[in-house]
Amino acid sequence: MVSELKFGVRAPSTAPNQPTPNTRGLPRPSSLEGVTEQRMNVESFNLDHRLVAAPYLRLADRKQLPQGDVIVKYDVRFAQPNVAHLEMPVIHSLEHLFAEKSRDHSDRVIDFSPMGCQTGFYLILQGEHTPEQVAELVEATLTDILGASEVPAANEVQCGWGANHTLEGAQRAARNFLAERDGWLTVFADGRAEASA
Ligand code: ZN
């Protein structure tokens, strides 16, 4: 039987279209003007990455499934977009460590996956989570990572590139992220926690 499931398509909302406070001295080529005005399918393609202030935690998506269950997706941003990034072995080891250790603190972790731009991760959780609850989970997990003596599953049996890891690099990134704990819920450089509608 063909599934009757219909996927809800979100009505386009107004793009955040304020003038860009270019606090970091990044160039604003005229070719980028208006690039965020067209609504796109991917949530992060509608985020003006010039306006955020990493590190931060940001609710990127919330989906209600047909049976009523809720899934939330958080943007866990380690590095300032287009200014800095994490090296791939650092990302890889953070992925392994966070994926394993976060589940010591929560049984509602669905996934923790790196962004292709190498500036952060998406943390997907089952059920409603406030930003502060997510911050507590991230803080507990990163604190565990600082105490780790090895990267879990960093071998040819359990991983697709078992040699591509750095415990020290992951711990350095975790330490830097934890040092900014007070600012995690301030997503934007102008102090906002959320994009204005
Ligand atoms: Zn791996």
Q: What is the pLDDT of residues 50-98, one digit of tens each?
A: 999 999 999 999 999 999 999 999 999 999 999 999 999 999 999 999 9
CA of 40 to the centre of ligand 1 (A): 31
Q: What is the mean pLDDT of the chain?
A: 87
**Least confident window among 46-50, 118-122, 126-130, 180-184:** 46-50
Residue 188 is classified by DSSP as: B
Give the pLDDT of residue 61.
96
Residue 44 belongs to a domain: no
* Residue 33 in domain: no
Confidence of residue 15 (pLDDT cuts 50, 70, 90): very low
On whether residue 47 sits in a domain, the answer given is no
Asked if the model's pLDDT at residue 20 lies above 80, the reply is: no
- 23 pLDDT more than 90: no
- Transcribe 80-125 into DSSP letters: -TTT----HHHHHHHHHHHHHHGGGT-S-EEEEEE-TTSSEEEEEE
d(CA 148, CA 97): 8
Secondary structure element (H or E) that encloses residue 72, with its range: strand 70-77
* Number of domains into which the chain is organized: 1
pTM for the structure as a whole: 0.82
66 prior amide bond cis, ω within 30: no
61: CATH? 3.30.1360.80
163 CA distance to ligand 1 middle (Å): 9
Task: Tell whether the model's pLDDT for residue 174 goes beyond 70.
Answer: yes
Ligand 1 centre from 162 Cα, in Å?
Answer: 6
Distance 95 CA to ligand 1 centre (A): 8
Asked if residue 5 belongs to a domain, the reply is no
Centroid of ligand 1 to alpha carbon of 100 (angstroms): 12
Q: What is the distance in angstroms between the CA of the first residue and the CA of the last residue of the chain?
A: 40
Residue range of the domain that includes 66: 53-183
Is 35 within the bounds of a domain?
no
Q: Choose the most confident range, by mean pLDDT, from 23-27, 33-37, 39-43, 132-136.
A: 132-136
